[in-house]
Structure 1
Amino acid sequence: MPISLDKVQSTAPGLVDLAKTAKVSLEKRNLFGTRAKVAVVMDYSGSMTREYREGRVQRLTERILALATQLDDDGAIDFFVFDSTAAHLGEVPLDNYAGAVDRLTQGRRMGTTDYAGAFRVVRDHFGFAPPKLAGGEKKGLFGRKKKVEGAVDVALPDNLRPASEPVFAIFLTDGAPNSKPQAVQALIEVSTAPIFWKFLSIGRESFDFLQQLDDLEQRVIDNADYKPIGSIDALSDEQLIDALLDEYGEYVTEAKRLGMLA
């Protein structure tokens, strides 16, 4: 169940208005009262230096934490980064969120942009099994039609046990990955885990590659949506929440139909 607005007010009053906005957005989509484990997956490459130094990543993390209060009751979000490798750095808690990004990234060196590692480290952190290979032709879901040559199809395990809640992973980047083929294959692989990926890009132009990931056919479910947001601070709270929740409800419905979620 979500954290009550009264508790948000008493614990983190600076986030209560955004939590109210998140509640309204969830209610509009008939999602209020549903549960998810929320995670942020942040690009920590060298080109992101200014976004961290000027506090924009911290502010985005706080806004996502406010959304998480209406999806989960543990009062924290998991914080992952990807650079030349990917790692889970800890949690951003509701009762101590100020400065959390600087604390968690302290001592870590910025590097390149390992999307594939990020996809897999999130799956592994939450304890989801790796996929099995699929045989034969398999049609994509939701009318998807982008099939990538050389990518290996996967399938859900025969003894699949539905998860009680999905992971809602919000993935922010400002550049293309180290290896596009590896990123494609990794996203296909993690489509067998109940993780919904919201890709956000910053910068002047949208990324064709993130749209390609959004459209991949070989996945067992459409597990991603891409939104170019330009500047982290440009969107209002309502615009940001609406962008984050777009396609999430459809994902949950389909994951339940496939037996991935209870």
Structure 2
Amino acid sequence: MALSLKKIEETAPALLSLAKEATGALDRAGLTGHKAKVAFVLDHSGSMSRQYSSGAMQRFAEKALVLGTQFDDDGQIDFFVFDSDADYLGEISLDNYKGSVDRLRKGRHMGTTNYAAAFSSVLKHYGFVASPSAPQKRTLFGRLKGPAPVELTSLPVKEPVYVIFLTDGAPDSRTEATKGLIAAAEHPVFWKFISISPTPIPFLEKLDEMPGRKVDNANYQDVADVDKLNDDELFRVLLEEYPDWLNAARGAGLVQ
């Protein structure tokens, strides 16, 4: 259930105009009343330094938060970053959104671009676990070795997870990233990939169209400069293909 515009006006009046734009975008996408958890995942590699120092990532976080308030009435989104590894850093909420990106990432060093770690971090945070990379084997004495087998989620959930994933480049390991997204398709999680690079990233275009998944669980768009999109256009971009994924996920028994 969406957080009311009145509540947003009372708690974070500076975001009210954005919230009205988000409400309109959801209505046009046929998502009014839809409920989902929202994860906000940012590339924290060295090449992103200017995007943080300019405030672009904070401004984008505020727009992601507003969209999150229309998917869930808890008034917050979950914030993750990925560089050489990935971590959940906490919540960005209507009560503490100002300066939240720099505050939550304070003291973290920038690194490389590990998509696979980001996928894993999000799945684990919401209680979903990917399959092990290899089955257990028996030793000469009959003992099992290697990673323990993990049961994939089989019961459909009421609330899917909608992930906004922003990056400016391809991952360290394309193989691990590909495996990670295929494994993630077993779960009720949709990945909206946004790139802020001068030209589209071929690897993300490949992930968007990749066969071999239980459902098509991702959509990719290159926006070059996220600050240059007007709010209505940004929300349209963020919601593109999400309704189609919801239908497919329901058909596959992932979402009620």
With the length of structure 1 as denominator, give the TM-score of the two structures: 0.89
Is this contact kept in 2: 1:40–1:80, CA < 8 A?
yes
Partner of 1:228: 222
**Deviation at residue 102 of structure 1 after TM alignment:** 0.7
Partner of 2:248: 254
Q: Distance in 2 between matches of 1:5 and 1:43?
A: 30
SS in 2 for 1:81: strand
The superposition leaves residues 15-60 of structure 1 with CA deviations (integer Å, 9 ceiling, x where unpaired) of 1111111111111122110101011110000000000011000000
Partner of 2:178: 184
Q: Distance in 2 between matches of 1:55 and 1:29?
A: 29
Partner of 1:8: 8
The superposition leaves residues 113-170 of structure 1 with CA deviations (integer Å, 9 ceiling, x where unpaired) of 000000111001100132489xxxxxxxxxxxxxxxxxxxxxx95x711111111100
Is this contact kept in 2: 1:162–1:261, CA < 8 A?
yes
1:169 to 163, 168, 171: 163
Whichever residue aligns with residue 185 of structure 2, its letter is S
Correspondences of 1:73-88 after superposition (within 5 Å) = 73-88=73-88
Is this contact kept in 2: 1:131–1:190, CA < 8 A?
no
SS in 1 for 2:65: helix
Q: Distance in 2 between matches of 1:170 and 1:97?
A: 17
Is this contact kept in 2: 1:198–1:226, CA < 8 A?
yes
> Unmatched 5+ residue regions in structure 1?
134-155
Partner of 2:27: 27
Q: Distance in 2 between matches of 1:120 and 1:216?
A: 19
Partner of 1:121: 121
SS in 1 for 2:166: strand
User: 4+ runs of 1 displaced by more than 6 Å?
Assistant: none
Q: Distance in 2 between matches of 1:177 and 1:128?
A: 22
Partner of 2:50: 50
Whichever residue aligns with residue 56 of structure 2, its letter is R
SS in 1 for 2:227: coil
Q: Distance in 2 between matches of 1:69 and 1:103?
A: 21
Partner of 2:198: 204
SS in 1 for 2:253: coil
Q: Distance in 2 between matches of 1:40 and 1:15?
A: 17
Identity %, equivalent residues = 49
Q: Please state if 1:239 is matched with 2:206.
A: no
Whichever residue aligns with residue 118 of structure 2, its letter is A
Q: Please state if 1:160 is matched with 2:154.
A: yes
> Unmatched 5+ residue regions in structure 2?
134-150
Question: What RMSD, in angstroms, separates the aligned Cα atoms of the two structures?
Answer: 1.3
Q: Distance in 2 between matches of 1:3 and 1:190?
A: 28
With the length of structure 2 as denominator, give the TM-score of the two structures: 0.91
